[in-house]
Amino acid sequence: MEGNIIRIDVEKLMLTVNGKVNLAFNTQFNTGDLVALFGPSGAGKTTLLRILAGLVNPDRGVIKMGNTIWFDSDKKINIAPQSRNISLMFQDYALFPNMTVEGNIEYAQPEKDNTAVEELLSVFGLSEFRKRKPNALSGGQRQRVALARAIARKPQLLLLDEPLSALDIDMRVQLQNEILKAHQLSGATTIMVSHDLNEVFRLATQVICIEYGSVNRKGKPEEVFSDNNISGKVQITGQIVRISKQDTVNIVTVITGNNKIIKVIAFDNDIENLNIGDTVLVFSKAFNPIITRLKPG
Protein backbone atom coordinates (compact mmCIF):
# COMPACT_ATOMS: atom_id res chain seq x y z
CA MET A 1 0.00 0.00 0.00
CA GLU A 2 1.30 3.44 -0.93
CA GLY A 3 0.48 4.79 2.52
CA ASN A 4 3.09 2.43 4.00
CA ILE A 5 5.87 3.39 1.58
CA ILE A 6 8.55 6.05 1.98
CA ARG A 7 9.83 7.25 -1.39
CA ILE A 8 13.01 9.29 -1.74
CA ASP A 9 14.23 10.42 -5.17
CA VAL A 10 16.55 13.41 -4.87
CA GLU A 11 19.68 14.93 -6.38
CA LYS A 12 22.08 17.37 -4.75
CA LEU A 13 25.46 18.63 -5.94
CA MET A 14 27.80 18.39 -2.95
CA LEU A 15 31.17 20.05 -2.37
CA THR A 16 33.43 17.54 -0.63
CA VAL A 17 37.15 17.26 0.17
CA ASN A 18 37.40 15.22 -3.03
CA GLY A 19 35.72 17.92 -5.12
CA LYS A 20 32.19 18.07 -6.48
CA VAL A 21 30.06 14.96 -6.02
CA ASN A 22 26.49 14.59 -7.23
CA LEU A 23 24.27 12.88 -4.69
CA ALA A 24 21.69 10.90 -6.67
CA PHE A 25 19.54 8.91 -4.25
CA ASN A 26 16.50 7.03 -5.51
CA THR A 27 14.91 4.30 -3.41
CA GLN A 28 11.90 3.39 -1.33
CA PHE A 29 11.24 1.28 1.76
CA ASN A 30 8.45 0.48 4.20
CA THR A 31 7.40 2.65 7.11
CA GLY A 32 8.59 1.12 10.37
CA ASP A 33 11.87 -0.13 8.88
CA LEU A 34 15.23 0.53 10.51
CA VAL A 35 17.37 1.54 7.54
CA ALA A 36 21.16 1.82 7.71
CA LEU A 37 23.04 4.16 5.36
CA PHE A 38 26.46 2.56 4.93
CA GLY A 39 29.53 3.71 3.04
CA PRO A 40 32.74 5.75 3.16
CA SER A 41 33.02 9.32 4.43
CA GLY A 42 31.97 11.94 1.90
CA ALA A 43 29.53 9.62 0.13
CA GLY A 44 26.50 11.79 1.00
CA LYS A 45 24.96 9.97 3.94
CA THR A 46 24.79 12.93 6.33
CA THR A 47 23.69 15.26 3.52
CA LEU A 48 20.79 12.91 2.83
CA LEU A 49 19.71 13.04 6.51
CA ARG A 50 19.77 16.85 6.38
CA ILE A 51 17.72 16.82 3.19
CA LEU A 52 15.10 14.59 4.85
CA ALA A 53 15.05 16.89 7.87
CA GLY A 54 14.50 19.92 5.62
CA LEU A 55 17.79 21.55 6.65
CA VAL A 56 19.22 21.23 3.12
CA ASN A 57 17.21 21.60 -0.07
CA PRO A 58 17.88 19.12 -2.88
CA ASP A 59 18.45 20.49 -6.38
CA ARG A 60 15.56 18.40 -7.63
CA GLY A 61 13.41 15.46 -6.66
CA VAL A 62 10.59 14.12 -4.52
CA ILE A 63 10.31 13.06 -0.88
CA LYS A 64 7.05 11.34 -0.07
CA MET A 65 6.21 9.97 3.38
CA GLY A 66 3.30 7.64 2.79
CA ASN A 67 0.57 9.80 1.30
CA THR A 68 2.21 13.09 2.33
CA ILE A 69 4.59 14.98 0.06
CA TRP A 70 7.42 16.69 1.97
CA PHE A 71 9.30 17.90 -1.09
CA ASP A 72 8.53 18.06 -4.81
CA SER A 73 10.67 20.32 -6.99
CA ASP A 74 8.24 20.18 -9.93
CA LYS A 75 5.20 21.04 -7.81
CA LYS A 76 7.12 23.66 -5.75
CA ILE A 77 6.35 21.85 -2.50
CA ASN A 78 8.84 22.14 0.37
CA ILE A 79 7.50 21.47 3.86
CA ALA A 80 9.39 23.46 6.51
CA PRO A 81 11.61 21.51 8.96
CA GLN A 82 9.41 22.34 11.95
CA SER A 83 6.38 20.93 10.10
CA ARG A 84 8.08 17.61 9.34
CA ASN A 85 7.50 15.15 12.14
CA ILE A 86 11.14 14.14 12.55
CA SER A 87 13.80 13.83 15.24
CA LEU A 88 17.43 14.25 14.18
CA MET A 89 20.11 13.05 16.57
CA PHE A 90 23.52 14.54 15.78
CA GLN A 91 26.90 12.91 16.37
CA ASP A 92 27.63 15.27 19.29
CA TYR A 93 24.07 14.74 20.66
CA ALA A 94 23.49 18.57 20.80
CA LEU A 95 22.02 18.45 24.30
CA PHE A 96 21.15 21.77 25.95
CA PRO A 97 24.05 22.29 28.42
CA ASN A 98 22.02 24.55 30.74
CA MET A 99 19.19 22.02 31.12
CA THR A 100 19.03 18.89 33.25
CA VAL A 101 18.45 15.41 31.83
CA GLU A 102 14.78 15.77 32.68
CA GLY A 103 14.62 19.24 31.15
CA ASN A 104 16.19 18.11 27.88
CA ILE A 105 13.59 15.37 27.49
CA GLU A 106 10.66 17.61 28.47
CA TYR A 107 11.73 20.30 25.99
CA ALA A 108 11.26 17.93 23.04
CA GLN A 109 7.68 17.01 23.89
CA PRO A 110 5.01 18.46 21.58
CA GLU A 111 2.73 18.54 24.64
CA LYS A 112 3.83 18.30 28.27
CA ASP A 113 3.40 14.76 29.59
CA ASN A 114 5.06 13.96 32.92
CA THR A 115 4.11 10.28 32.74
CA ALA A 116 5.88 9.90 29.39
CA VAL A 117 9.00 11.61 30.78
CA GLU A 118 9.06 9.25 33.77
CA GLU A 119 8.74 6.26 31.45
CA LEU A 120 11.62 7.40 29.24
CA LEU A 121 13.84 8.09 32.27
CA SER A 122 13.13 4.60 33.54
CA VAL A 123 13.48 2.76 30.23
CA PHE A 124 16.87 4.34 29.48
CA GLY A 125 18.19 4.00 33.04
CA LEU A 126 18.34 7.74 33.64
CA SER A 127 16.10 8.19 36.68
CA GLU A 128 18.96 8.70 39.12
CA PHE A 129 20.59 11.24 36.79
CA ARG A 130 17.46 13.28 36.09
CA LYS A 131 18.73 16.45 37.82
CA ARG A 132 22.22 16.31 36.32
CA LYS A 133 23.31 18.49 33.43
CA PRO A 134 25.04 17.02 30.36
CA ASN A 135 28.57 17.97 31.45
CA ALA A 136 28.14 15.74 34.53
CA LEU A 137 27.28 12.66 32.45
CA SER A 138 29.40 10.02 30.72
CA GLY A 139 29.35 9.62 26.94
CA GLY A 140 27.03 6.64 27.17
CA GLN A 141 24.64 8.51 29.48
CA ARG A 142 24.54 11.51 27.14
CA GLN A 143 23.73 9.17 24.27
CA ARG A 144 20.79 7.73 26.23
CA VAL A 145 19.50 11.23 27.01
CA ALA A 146 19.71 12.17 23.33
CA LEU A 147 17.76 9.05 22.34
CA ALA A 148 15.13 9.66 25.02
CA ARG A 149 14.78 13.27 23.87
CA ALA A 150 14.43 12.15 20.24
CA ILE A 151 11.63 9.74 21.15
CA ALA A 152 9.88 12.33 23.35
CA ARG A 153 8.99 14.26 20.20
CA LYS A 154 7.00 11.21 18.98
CA PRO A 155 8.51 11.42 15.49
CA GLN A 156 7.32 9.82 12.30
CA LEU A 157 10.95 9.65 11.17
CA LEU A 158 13.93 9.15 13.51
CA LEU A 159 17.26 10.19 11.96
CA LEU A 160 20.50 9.07 13.64
CA ASP A 161 23.80 10.45 12.34
CA GLU A 162 26.48 7.99 13.53
CA PRO A 163 25.06 8.03 17.07
CA LEU A 164 27.78 5.78 18.53
CA SER A 165 30.83 7.11 16.70
CA ALA A 166 32.16 9.05 19.71
CA LEU A 167 32.24 5.94 21.92
CA ASP A 168 34.82 3.17 22.21
CA ILE A 169 34.14 -0.23 20.68
CA ASP A 170 33.01 -1.93 23.91
CA MET A 171 30.55 0.87 24.73
CA ARG A 172 29.21 0.91 21.15
CA VAL A 173 28.30 -2.76 21.36
CA GLN A 174 26.49 -2.23 24.67
CA LEU A 175 24.55 0.79 23.45
CA GLN A 176 23.34 -0.81 20.25
CA ASN A 177 20.58 -2.18 22.48
CA GLU A 178 19.52 1.41 23.18
CA ILE A 179 19.22 2.18 19.47
CA LEU A 180 16.99 -0.84 18.98
CA LYS A 181 14.98 0.08 22.06
CA ALA A 182 14.48 3.64 20.77
CA HIS A 183 13.31 2.38 17.39
CA GLN A 184 10.83 -0.07 18.92
CA LEU A 185 9.51 2.40 21.52
CA SER A 186 8.97 5.23 19.06
CA GLY A 187 7.29 3.10 16.39
CA ALA A 188 8.97 5.44 13.92
CA THR A 189 10.83 4.69 10.74
CA THR A 190 14.51 4.97 11.67
CA ILE A 191 17.31 5.93 9.28
CA MET A 192 20.78 5.52 10.76
CA VAL A 193 24.19 6.48 9.33
CA SER A 194 26.81 3.91 10.35
CA HIS A 195 30.34 2.83 9.47
CA ASP A 196 30.06 -0.22 11.75
CA LEU A 197 29.06 -3.42 9.98
CA ASN A 198 28.14 -5.07 13.29
CA GLU A 199 25.60 -2.31 13.96
CA VAL A 200 24.17 -2.75 10.48
CA PHE A 201 23.79 -6.53 10.81
CA ARG A 202 22.42 -6.37 14.31
CA LEU A 203 20.00 -3.46 14.00
CA ALA A 204 18.97 -2.79 10.41
CA THR A 205 16.11 -4.39 8.52
CA GLN A 206 17.40 -2.75 5.34
CA VAL A 207 20.82 -1.38 4.37
CA ILE A 208 21.59 1.11 1.61
CA CYS A 209 25.23 1.37 0.53
CA ILE A 210 26.25 4.76 -0.85
CA GLU A 211 29.52 5.47 -2.62
CA TYR A 212 30.45 8.73 -4.37
CA GLY A 213 26.86 9.94 -4.06
CA SER A 214 25.22 6.91 -5.67
CA VAL A 215 23.43 3.87 -4.30
CA ASN A 216 25.43 0.81 -5.35
CA ARG A 217 23.70 -1.86 -3.25
CA LYS A 218 20.59 -2.17 -1.11
CA GLY A 219 18.54 -4.84 0.59
CA LYS A 220 18.71 -6.95 3.74
CA PRO A 221 22.18 -6.87 5.35
CA GLU A 222 22.80 -10.59 4.87
CA GLU A 223 22.01 -10.23 1.17
CA VAL A 224 23.99 -7.04 0.56
CA PHE A 225 27.17 -8.27 2.22
CA SER A 226 27.14 -11.86 0.95
CA ASP A 227 29.43 -11.12 -2.02
CA ASN A 228 32.64 -13.07 -1.44
CA ASN A 229 34.28 -11.90 -4.65
CA ILE A 230 35.28 -8.45 -3.41
CA SER A 231 39.05 -8.18 -3.14
CA GLY A 232 40.61 -7.63 0.27
CA LYS A 233 42.49 -4.47 1.24
CA VAL A 234 44.50 -3.30 4.24
CA GLN A 235 46.05 -6.57 5.38
CA ILE A 236 47.53 -6.71 8.90
CA THR A 237 49.19 -9.69 10.59
CA GLY A 238 49.11 -10.06 14.37
CA GLN A 239 48.53 -12.31 17.35
CA ILE A 240 45.28 -12.76 19.26
CA VAL A 241 45.66 -11.70 22.90
CA ARG A 242 42.02 -11.63 23.98
CA ILE A 243 38.59 -12.87 22.87
CA SER A 244 35.74 -11.38 24.90
CA LYS A 245 32.02 -11.93 24.56
CA GLN A 246 29.92 -8.77 24.17
CA ASP A 247 26.24 -9.65 24.05
CA THR A 248 25.64 -11.25 20.62
CA VAL A 249 29.14 -10.66 19.22
CA ASN A 250 32.78 -11.16 20.18
CA ILE A 251 35.58 -8.62 20.45
CA VAL A 252 38.87 -10.07 19.21
CA THR A 253 41.91 -8.08 20.37
CA VAL A 254 45.00 -8.43 18.15
CA ILE A 255 48.52 -7.07 18.66
CA THR A 256 50.28 -6.42 15.35
CA GLY A 257 53.97 -6.83 14.56
CA ASN A 258 54.63 -3.14 15.25
CA ASN A 259 52.86 -3.34 18.65
CA LYS A 260 49.63 -1.74 17.52
CA ILE A 261 46.46 -2.97 19.23
CA ILE A 262 43.41 -3.48 17.04
CA LYS A 263 39.97 -4.79 17.93
CA VAL A 264 37.75 -6.69 15.51
CA ILE A 265 34.06 -7.48 15.95
CA ALA A 266 33.37 -11.13 15.07
CA PHE A 267 30.35 -13.39 15.23
CA ASP A 268 30.52 -16.84 16.87
CA ASN A 269 31.00 -18.68 13.57
CA ASP A 270 33.91 -16.34 12.71
CA ILE A 271 35.92 -17.47 15.76
CA GLU A 272 35.13 -21.19 15.84
CA ASN A 273 38.75 -22.09 15.03
CA LEU A 274 40.44 -19.12 16.70
CA ASN A 275 42.26 -19.21 20.04
CA ILE A 276 44.36 -16.83 22.11
CA GLY A 277 47.91 -16.93 20.79
CA ASP A 278 46.92 -17.68 17.19
CA THR A 279 48.63 -15.67 14.47
CA VAL A 280 45.94 -14.16 12.26
CA LEU A 281 45.47 -11.99 9.22
CA VAL A 282 43.05 -9.07 9.56
CA PHE A 283 41.90 -7.45 6.34
CA SER A 284 39.02 -5.31 5.14
CA LYS A 285 36.46 -6.53 2.68
CA ALA A 286 33.68 -4.14 1.60
CA PHE A 287 34.24 -2.03 4.74
CA ASN A 288 34.01 -5.20 6.86
CA PRO A 289 36.97 -6.28 9.05
CA ILE A 290 37.64 -9.99 8.45
CA ILE A 291 39.91 -12.13 10.65
CA THR A 292 41.41 -15.43 9.50
CA ARG A 293 43.91 -17.81 11.12
CA LEU A 294 47.33 -18.32 9.50
CA LYS A 295 48.76 -21.84 9.49
CA PRO A 296 52.04 -22.24 11.41
CA GLY A 297 55.26 -22.27 9.37
pLDDT at 239 over 50: yes
Q: Looking at residue 193, what is its pLDDT?
A: 93
Dihedral sign, Cα of residue 67, residue 71, residue 75, residue 77: positive
Q: With left for phi above 0 and alpha for psi between -120 and 50, is residue 8 left, alpha or beta?
A: beta
pLDDT (tens digit per residue) in 262-286: 888 888 888 888 888 888 888 765 4
Q: Looking at residue 218, what is its pLDDT?
A: 93
Q: Looking at residue 297, what is its pLDDT?
A: 44
- 195 pLDDT band, cuts 50/70/90, is confident
Q: Looking at residue 119, what is its pLDDT?
A: 93
Segment holding 170, helix H or strand E: helix 169-186
Cα gap 51→57, rounded to integer Å: 6
Q: Looking at residue 2, what is its pLDDT?
A: 64
Round the average pLDDT of the chain to a whole number and report it.
86
b or e along 236-271 (b: 16 or more beta carbons within 10 Å of the residue's beta carbon)?
A: bebebeeeeebeebbbbbbeeeeeeeebbbbeeebb
According to CATH, what is the number of the domain 2-224? 3.40.50.300
Mean pLDDT along residues 76-91:
93
Q: Which of 167-171, 175-179, 198-202, 266-270 has the lowest mean pLDDT?
A: 167-171
Cα gap 180→49, rounded to integer Å: 19
pLDDT at 21 over 60: yes
pLDDT at 31 over 90: yes
Closest CA to 236 of 255, 222, 251, 219: 255
Q: List every span in the chain annotated with CATH 3.40.50.300.
A: 2-224
Q: Looking at residue 258, what is its pLDDT?
A: 65
Which CA distances in Å does 33 have to 156, 175, 206, 218?
A: 11, 19, 7, 13
Q: Looking at residue 74, what is its pLDDT?
A: 97
The percent of residues in the chain predicted with pLDDT above 90, rounded, is: 51
Q: Looking at residue 178, what is its pLDDT?
A: 83
pLDDT at 14 over 50: yes
- 237 pLDDT band, cuts 50/70/90, is confident
Q: List every span in the chain annotated with CATH 2.40.50.100.
A: 233-293
The residues, ordered by sequence, that sit 6+ positions from 15 with a Cβ below 8 Å of its Cβ are none
pLDDT (tens digit per residue) in 144-163: 999 999 999 999 999 999 88
Q: Looking at residue 229, what is its pLDDT?
A: 39
Q: Looking at residue 288, what is its pLDDT?
A: 60
The answer to whether 61 and 11 have CB atoms below 8 angstroms apart is yes
Q: Is 290 helix (H, G, I), strand (E, B) or coil?
A: strand
Q: How far is CA 55 from the centre of its chain?
A: 19
Q: Looking at residue 221, what is its pLDDT?
A: 83
Q: Looking at residue 67, what is its pLDDT?
A: 92
Q: Looking at residue 284, what is its pLDDT?
A: 65
pLDDT at 232 over 60: no
Please give the class, per CATH, of domain 233-293.
mainly beta
- 226 pLDDT band, cuts 50/70/90, is low
